[in-house]
Amino acid sequence: MNNSTNSKVVIAHRGASGYLPEHTMESKAMAYAMHPDYIEQDLVLSKDDIPIVIHDIYLDDVTNVATIFPERKREDGRYYVIDFTFDELQLLQVTERFQPSTGEQFYPNRFPKNKGNFRLHSLQQEIELIQGLNYSTGKSIGIYPEIKNPEFHHKNGKDIARITLDILSFYGYKTKEDNCILQCFDAKELERIRKELQSELFLVQLIEFPEETKQLQHFASYADGIGPWYKQILDKKENNKWLFTNLVEKAHELNLVVHPYTFRHDQLDEFSTFEEMMSVFFFEANIDGAFTDFPDKVVDFLRK
C-alpha cells in the first residue's frame, strides 16, 4: 500500500476524465500514462451480474442508449444499467457527459460530445488493462473501485459488494498491502464489507452530507480513510487566507487518511488558479491525496 500519511497520492477520477469521456478504456490508458498513484473505477452491475465501470446506475447521460434501445426506459423515463446484459451494453457508444433532457454537454470545453468510438467495459477488463500496463512498464499503479448505490442493487436482488470483492480477490487484491482502495458512500454497506464480508482491503468512507463529518469516530471503527467533498474542508477566507474546518485534523487523530473529491482545472470556484487550489489543500489543509479529472496537473504540481 503506497499510501502513508507523509506521501501525497493522486487519484485519476474516472480516468483522465478532463480530457476523454469518463470511465472509458481510453481515458484509463491516458490516465495511466500520467503516473497517478491510483485509477478510479465506479461500479454498477449489469443484468447478468457483471460490474460495469460507469458513474451512475443510469445510462442516458453518457451513452446513446435512447437511440439504440428507445423502448427500454423505465416509467421514470430513465435507462438503467441493471436492465441490460453485458452484451447489450457493448452495443452502446459512450460519450462526454450530457444533460439527457437538453443534450447539453456538461463541461463544454472537454472532449466533443458524440465524437470518437468509446464503449463500456467491465471491472475485470479494466483490471487486466492496469495490471498489464504495470507488467509491461514496471510501474505499480493501483486501483480505487467504488461500489455505487448498493441499496438499489439489494432492492433489485443483487449483492454488488460480494461480487466485487470476489473479483478483486481473484485478481490478487485482498489486503491493505495490495494496491487497491475500496470506497463507498453507503456507510452501512462499507461497514458490512469490513465486518460481515470480512474484507481486509484498505477502505475509504466517502462523505456527501455535512452531518456525516461528525461520525468520524464511527467511520474509524471499520474504515482506513475518508473521502469528503473538498468544500467540507474549507471554512472561510479571512485577510486573503483560507481557514479550515477541523475535518482533516480530526481524521488524522483517528488515523484516517483524507482523500477529498474532485479537483477540476475547469471548475475552480473559489480559486483563481489550479495551482493555488492545490497549494491550499495539500500544504495548508494537509490532505493526503486528491481525486482529480486532471491527474497530470496534480502530479506536476506535487513534483514541483
Q: What does the pLDDT read at residue 298?
A: 98
Q: What is the mean pLDDT of the chain?
A: 97
Q: Is 13 a catalytic residue?
A: yes
Cα separation of 187 and 193, whole Å? 10
Q: What does the pLDDT read at residue 4?
A: 41
The ranges assigned to domains in the chain are 9-58+121-303
Q: Does the pLDDT at position 75 exceed 50?
A: yes
Residues 105-136: pLDDT tens digits?
A: 999 999 999 999 999 999 999 999 999 999 99
Residues 219-263: pLDDT tens digits?
A: 999 999 999 999 999 999 999 999 999 999 999 999 999 999 999
CATH H-level, domain 9-58+121-303: superfamily: Phosphatidylinositol (PI) phosphodiesterase (3.20.20.190)
Q: What does the pLDDT read at residue 83?
A: 98
User: How long a stretch of residues is the chain?
Assistant: 304
Cα separation of 276 and 48, whole Å? 46
Residues 6+ apart with CB under 8 A from 172: 178
Among candidate residues 23, 35, 55, 259, the one labeled active-site is: 55
- What's this model's pTM, rounded to 2 decimal places? 0.97
What torsion do the CA atoms of 85, 90, 92, 97 make, to the nearest 10 degrees?
A: 90
Q: What does the pLDDT read at residue 6?
A: 54
Q: Which three cell numbers stand for residue 160?
A: 454488488
Q: Is 265 a catalytic residue?
A: no
Cα separation of 124 and 188, whole Å? 26
Residues 280-293: pLDDT tens digits?
A: 999 999 999 999 99
Cα separation of 279 and 252, whole Å? 19
Mean pLDDT of 132-149: 98
139, amino acid identity: K
Q: Does the pLDDT at position 1 exceed 90?
A: no
Among candidate residues 13, 23, 121, 259, the one labeled active-site is: 13
Beta strands at 225-228 and 202-207: parallel, antiparallel or unpaired: parallel
